[in-house]
């Protein structure tokens, strides 16, 4: 299953950044004395596309931004407004708040039973995931999502270090998403990440008589202010959890999972054996 972070650039519910960009386009269009239909004809986009951008329901394509800037003669204002969207392009709106919190985190704990976490994916693995999950993205959308995911991985090397803990189900890797070659590269990358001084990587083996993660994947994050927050996601939805009691439950579950999973050294050994069997 794809992570919510993958589902980015089609019609979405309005958010503040997209609304702000849409308002800039709308104000510029009105200043130029054009209707949506006239602007669409001028820049070779449908009136529906123009309307979706102005309502903050669609990320504008690069061509849309360039053509609107030229047609409306805003002296760079549309380009500047579009630049504010670049950092979030390729992320689902429900994941964006968590992505912002990640950038300033002190610690990040992740339990995943669906697929390898985005922070640990190779480009080939990410591309397969994004390519195969309906609704299928356009080539431009797919590239945006892959690029954004790889950009986020800079967090692993950011200083001062964020303390990362990952617990991944063995079945996620045994699935061999993308085939043996993609999986071999993925395992090599996981082993490389596990050698980083700020990363603990544990594998939950296939045979797990005791398992505290049966309610599904989740994440825990410690902020700069040393406040702990949680995050869970499902099909086209995600939720940041700030209620202390709910976060405490996730802490209890993660503590149990750390005991139940293989330790980092045994996890690395298992990964190497899995690679050898491919």
The residue among 186, 105, 198, 119 whose CA lies nearest residue 153 is 119
Core vs surface per residue 122-159: b (16+ CB within 10 A) or e: bebbbbbbbeeeeeebeeebbebbbebbeebbebbeee
Rounded to whole angstroms, what are the CA distances from 171 to 18, 21, 168, 179, 268?
38, 42, 9, 14, 15
pLDDT tens for the chain, residues 1 to 278: 444 443 333 444 456 778 889 999 999 999 999 999 999 999 999 999 999 999 988 878 888 999 999 999 999 999 988 887 755 555 666 677 788 889 889 999 999 999 999 999 999 999 999 888 888 888 888 888 888 889 889 999 999 999 999 999 999 999 999 999 999 999 999 999 999 999 999 999 999 999 999 999 999 999 988 999 999 988 878 899 999 999 999 999 999 999 999 999 999 999 999 999 99
Provide the edge-to-edge strand list for the sheet that holds 218-222: 199-204, 163-169, 107-112, 218-222, 228-234, 237-241
Q: What global pTM score does this model have? A: 0.71
CA distance linking residue 169 with residue 11, whole number of Å: 33
- Kindly give the residue spans of alpha helices, DSSP state H, lying in 93-203: 93-103, 123-132, 139-152, 170-174, 180-194
- How many residues in total does the chain contain? 278
């Amino acid at each position: 299953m794809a992570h919510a972070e993958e589902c980015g650039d089609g019609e979405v519910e309005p958010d503040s950044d997209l609304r702000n960009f849409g308002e800039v386009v709308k104000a510029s269009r009105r200043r130029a004395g054009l209707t949506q239909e006239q602007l669409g004809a001028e820049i070779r986009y449908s009136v529906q596309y123009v309307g979706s951008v102005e309502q903050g329901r669609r990320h504008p394509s690069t061509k849309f931004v360039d053509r609107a800037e030229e047609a409306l003669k805003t002296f760079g204002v549309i380009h500047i407004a579009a630049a504010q969207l670049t950092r979030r392009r390729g992320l689902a709106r429900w994941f964006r708040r968590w992505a912002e919190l990640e950038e300033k985190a002190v610690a990040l704990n992740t339990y995943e039973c669906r697929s390898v976490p985005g922070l640990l994916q190779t480009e080939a693995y990410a591309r397969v995931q994004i390519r195969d999950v309906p609704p299928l993205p356009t080539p431009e959308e797919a590239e945006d999502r892959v690029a954004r995911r790889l950009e986020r991985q800079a967090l692993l090397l950011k200083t001062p270090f964020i303390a990362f803990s990952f617990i991944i189900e063995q079945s996620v890797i045994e699935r061999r998403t993308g085939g043996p070659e993609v999986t071999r590269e993925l395992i090599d990358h996981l082993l490389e990440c596990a050698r980083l001084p700020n990363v603990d990587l544990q594998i939950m083996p296939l045979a797990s008589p005791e398992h505290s993660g049966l309610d599904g994947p989740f994440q825990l994050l410690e902020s700069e202010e040393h406040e702990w927050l949680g995050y869970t996601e499902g099909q086209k939805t995600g939720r940041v959890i700030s209620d202390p009691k709910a976060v405490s439950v996730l802490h209890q579950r993660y503590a149990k999972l750390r005991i139940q999973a293989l330790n980092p050294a045994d996890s690395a050994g298992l990964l190497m054996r899995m690679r050898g069997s491919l």
